[in-house]
Chains A and B, each alone.
Chain A
Amino acid sequence: MADTPKSAPRPGFVLEVDRTTPPILFHHGEGFRMEKLPVGRSRVVYPAEPLHGLEDPEGAIADALANPIDDDPLRSQLRPGMKLTIAFDDVSLPLPPMRRPDVRQRIIEQVLDLAAEAGVDDVHLIAALALHRRMTEAELRHAVGDRVYEAFAPDGLLYNLDAEDPDNMVILGHTDHGDTVQMNKRAAESDLLIYVNINIVSMDGGWKSTATGLSGYQGVKSHHNVHTMRHSKSFMDQEKSELHKSNWRQGDIIKAHGPKVFQIETTINTNTFGDTGPLSMLQKREWEWSMRDRATFAGMQAGLKRMTGPQKRKVFQSWRAPYEITSVQAGEVEAVHRKTTENVYKQHLVPVQGQTDVLTMGLPYLGPYNVDSIMNPILVTCQGLGYFFNLYRGKPLVREGGVVIMSHPTPWEFNPVHHPSYIDFFEQVLADTTDPVEIERKYEKQFAEDEWYRHLYRTSHAYHGVHPFYMWYWASHAMQHLGDIIIVGGDPRAVRRLGFKPATTLQDALEMASDTVGPQPTITHLHNPPVLMADVS
């Protein structure tokens, strides 16, 4: 592909809906809806086309390691007898999982080659999953490659972080804001900690990689709380993110009391569904769909109609994205991250003029926390009101008191292995209240310190007991900002339990929204994924 010259990718843009506009694609879990938006007052925000990938990713990685930003070449930092720990992003990145070889594999292989050359023999590899679920053997193999896996895993040198292991977590200190900095003991005591990151959205990376990824509940709760999230506007915008600031404060403590960190960050393009292949129309603009695209899409819709939920899930979850690497930068954490953020913005930012009354979004089948799993109602909330709502810089896409309409089947279904505490959060906590502050005050500690959840987190593949709370906090800024939240095509019981309003069709939802925002509201549709970030002025 690299050999054929490609046209320059077109930037993202805002389409004003007029009479010639065809129905617009809404993702809808493991399916899609084509929706006609009201003419004259609707607009659609389209993502940029995928940027070109690096022609020689291996070379770029080698170059980044040899010429790091504000740091010495990696080779010079490696010496025999040293303690080296390589931490890497977990299964929540990228989304969907990318085709082999994974970025992490490419980088880790090169790092390990350098370490071997330098005679380093005390190396640990840790999946920096914080309070996420432990990765399975297959997932670890996919991330680091079979070669690395087989060289390290059998000897216990490649493993998932266990943030509840009392013997292997340390407190590095506290910031002047009272944030606690916690880290895996092995990482903290290493002579060099190399972090291998994949940056899919602008929230990822920087100090968040180590300060959050290698931390446990003590450290994470410093910023994973309602107050922080309500003061992160948005948490995708580093300038205005309290979440970001807290992580950077924690970074200062790591700099002072923790290991030397060598940060390797990568950005990937938005080639989520491929230029060719069965899903390629999903990243095209609807009026540019070819006959072939239309036929494929119609066929897919017909096929999906005949499938059961689990069958559809299996099909979608097996999709591997043909992402390409757009940049690699290594070295000092903050300097590296500035560069990374620039590169992320280059792909994601779409300028949008002014806010809207009603923001519509079609939620896809996948979010960071349901890889190989179900997007349960709490994850639906987080996906829409946490991630999608916060994909803005400047002002939220929707005005204060406005309405968000999300499209997702929102089934009353949970993966019992991955999300046991979610089930109880949904059945017990949300049945009592949906107010994030109340929930945090009344229930967080009980779930966070629950022995059974701790056991499942440590030994099975369960998200930590407190994780569903974070999903709710992630949405707390949106909940405070919005006048109403409507889910189209969801299980009405589940939607009501979330405290939202169920609607059968988008038309109904728009009708309902006008009760809150008045008649003839302006409407903006966030055409995501592929991912975009609205730069609202």
Chain B
Amino acid sequence: MIAEQLAGKRVAVTGSTGFLGTALVERLFRSVPDCELVLLIRPGKRSTVEQRAKREIFRNNVFDRLRDELGDGDQKVGGAILLEQMADRVHVIAGDVGTDGLGLDEAGRELMKTVDVIIHSAATVSFDAPLDSAVEVNLLGPTRIAETLHDLGATPHLVAVSTCYVAGNRRGPANEELLSDSPFHIDVDWQAEVRAARRTRADFDAESRSAARLEEFRARARNELGAAGTPLLAAKTEQLRTRWVSEQMVEAGRARAASLGWPDSYAYTKALGERALDERRGNVPVSIVRPAIIESAWSEPVPGWIKGFRMAEPILISYGQGLLKEFPGVPEGVVDVIPVDLVVGAIVAVAARGPLADHEGRTADDPDYVPPKPDITQVASGTRNPLQYRTLVDLVSGWFAEHPLYDQKGQPIAVRPFTFPGRGAVERQLDRYARQLGTADKVLKSLPLRGKQAMITAEVEEQKDNVERARGYVKIYGAYAECEALYGVDNLVALHASMPVADQHTFGCDPSIVDWNHYVTGIHLPSVVEHARVKTVGERSDPDARTKRLKKRVLSPDRQVAAFDLENTIIASNVVFSYAYLATRRMPPAERMRFMAKTVAEGPSLLALDQRDRTDFLRHFYRRYEGAPVELMDELGQQLLSDHILTKAFPAAIRRVRQHRQLGHRTVLITGALDIVVKPLAPLFDDIISAEMTVKDGAYTGELKAVPPTGEIRAQALRDYAAEHDLDLEEAVAYADSSSDLPLLDAVGFPVAVNPETRLATLAIKRGWLIEYWSKADGGADKALPFGPPPSPRRSRR
């Protein structure tokens, strides 16, 4: 019996927070009650390994069944008992298979000396991992474990989890044998591959720092964020640079894998990892388990259990949602899917069986035991119980036809039958669509759109993302769908057959038990759809639900301060308009005409300067106030309120300011507009931070006292303000309309985009910010040009 074979043993598991690892821990914990577990977990950025273990493993719904059993139906009681038992049976140690020596501390090393079995399931399973990180984890990971054990003088049984796809892209049988024994073996020096991968990273990093590349990243950052100010643009540029390097590394991995005949860098690094392990295993007895594509559970702990959104799931959901209309593949090909519980069963059975006897027939207990070549067990369904691609597609489309997903309007989404196009055709189709969207995006971004119109751009952006994702799936998974290797499972079947009947129930791993029809339509799809939180009922969802939720958060009494931009956030106007009003208010008619003509002519160049650098623009523009008498400006400022500001104001914005005040939030207006212009708005806010000009002899000089609060200065102004009044920026709300306000919006916990222009609209949607569309009151006097009314006719006083 497996439970007895492993009783009293200490089993270490790497990768226990992953899909397979979590299932493994659960099964060992539940079905092998007398073993101890050592979990090697990588410390998180903000959490300890103990916290990770609890949160990611023991609180996962994989333990629901055990909690139920322990608590006699009461999950809470069961949970408490589970945590008690966990304290008794589980040791959590910090470790990382990506670093030499596994990053163990002394206690960890001591503990590792005492383990009887190590199940290594840690891997970068992402199919589009950068080459070097795949190499570090997948290629070097197993070797590092073996070498660490060697250092510690320990020789536990190492069960390394690999993948069937190490066999590479080929047709025909791929048996349970070491790669070096395969006739298709290509002899590559794995150490040279490691060096090359590391060097490739350095090369791309160097290239990313070249002047031409940096210029390109800067231009892209600017295109995305607009005039958001140097600090934000710099941060974005650096982000684009590192992302570019990472993308190059992904591409390099894919290319290198393809060049050697593997579908992707995952299979390629895993394959070399097996080879490296074989070479460096020393006295450690090694067994290798190679699963195919692992999917949701057939029966253990419950049918349909799955963790994370994995390989096939996004494709299935995209298909159900009508986003992905075609997927490449050969209809008569075999999709080698294997339920996770069968893989777990095989791994536990291999661990319980222990290392194979050596060529002299000595077992591991024998002091003269010399570990033999690693034994291989493939856990795959393709040869014993094949699922044809066509069958799968029929089952999936049939199921979605009966259980459609629904769109936002509450209408069922119809799925189209597959036509099984080649990979090239699908890619070409997606490329064409992506090009069209790219053009639309460029055109839209060059237009001065705002508010709801700007949202069209955001929609195009979303479509672009969808297409990008679909392209990604096709690129990454297309190779798998076209892979026609048949994975031999003789060892697996023998393993299953060797179990007592009771163990076959608990740890069975014979793929022939899977009824694909039931598995796909009765277990997997319902589970995936539930997991994906998509709409499965035909009621119209409240299109404003999200907005309402966000608004509620913004207007929670917990918020402390609300900062507002002025132009296009509270009023549909700008500094040029205010100036034009003030300047013309007292002009005689002839001069007014000249002034109007001049201002209209200057418009485009002023606009261009404004878009380049707001601060420079304001400084340049405010020079015009030179010599304006302070007293007259005060009087005119008051008239400006009624004649100009109020007619251009957004009543909803003004209402929002007052709502914040009623809730006890401090309200502050932070604007690059002049104090004389915004002074009439003073009673609306608790405080106003604006640009101020210096005064000489009762007249303005046209020079500013300080850098006007725009861009990053505005964010700084809010930070200073918050510090001064002891306010928490995490509890702050900021309202602004343009990407030049990004520093301000980024600085607070609750950013709100008001009538956003295209770039900000796109960003706001991506980041899930509240977006408000505020408009002027219909019924304000609508003047095309913002000039003051002419002075009223005056008769001379008698």
Contact = CB atoms under 8 A, between A and B. Distances in A.
B654 interface: yes
A456 B797 CA distance: 31
A9 interface: no
Interface stretch (B278-286, B317-325, B642-650): B642-650
A461 B782 contact: no
A246 to B, nearest CB: 32
Contacts of B680: 455, 459-460
B777 A415 contact: yes
Interface stretch (A68-76, A184-192, A354-362, A419-427): A419-427
B54 interface: no
Contacts of B794: 150
Interface string B105-145: 00000000000000000000000000000000000000000
A146 interface: yes
A532 B306 CA distance: 80
A417 B684 contact: no
A452 B652 CA distance: 14
B777 A416 contact: yes
B8 interface: no
Contacts of B779: 373-374, 376, 411, 413-416
Chain A CB within 10 A, most for which of B641, B647, B652, B683: B683
Interface string B628-655: 0000000000100110001101011011
Contacts of A141: 792
Nearest to B791: A137
Contacts of A154: 797
B667 to A, nearest CB: 11
A451 B661 CA distance: 11
A256 interface: no
B778 A413 contact: yes
A138 B646 contact: no
Interface in A410-441: 411-417, 420, 423-424, 427-428
A424 B655 contact: yes
Contact of A414 (B651, B658, B683): B651
Contact of B683 (A423, A427, A452, A462): A452
A417 B646 contact: yes
A454 B680 CA distance: 12
B651 A460 contact: no
B797 A151 contact: yes
A455 B638 CA distance: 11
B640 to A, nearest CB: 10
Contacts, number: 73
B688 to A, nearest CB: 14
Interface residues of A, number: 33
A460 B649 contact: no
Contacts of A146: 795
Nearest to A141: B792
A320 to B, nearest CB: 18
A310 interface: yes
Contacts of B538: none
B651 A451 contact: no
Given A154-B797, A411-B778, A456-B646, A424 B651 contact: yes
Contacts of B655: 423-424, 427-428
A450 interface: yes
A150 B651 contact: no
A146 to B, nearest CB: 6
A416 B736 CA distance: 22
Contacts of B776: 416
Contacts of B654: 420, 452
A416 B651 contact: yes
B780 interface: yes
A376 B638 CA distance: 26
B641 A459 contact: yes
Interface string B647-684: 10101101100100000000000000000000010011
A138 B641 CA distance: 18
A460 B641 contact: yes
A137 B641 contact: no
A141 to B, nearest CB: 8
Nearest to A376: B779
A150 B646 contact: no
B777 A423 contact: yes
Interface string B777-798: 1111110000000001011011
Given A413-B779, A423-B651, A138 B792 contact: yes
A413 B777 contact: yes
B792 A461 contact: no
Nearest to A374: B779
A452 B651 CA distance: 12
A417 B643 CA distance: 8
A144 B287 CA distance: 106
Given A374-B779, A460-B641, 16 more contacts: A141-B792, A151-B797, A151-B798, A411-B778, A411-B779, A413-B777, A414-B778, A415-B779, A416-B779, A416-B780, A417-B647, A420-B651, A424-B655, A452-B654, A454-B683, A455-B684
Interface of A: 137-138, 141, 146, 150-151, 154, 310, 373-374, 376, 411-417, 420, 423-424, 427-428, 450-452, 454-456, 459-462
Interface of B: 638, 641-642, 646-647, 649, 651-652, 654-655, 658, 680, 683-684, 776-782, 792, 794-795, 797-798
10 contacts: A150-B794, A154-B797, A310-B781, A416-B780, A423-B777, A424-B651, A427-B651, A450-B658, A459-B638, A460-B642
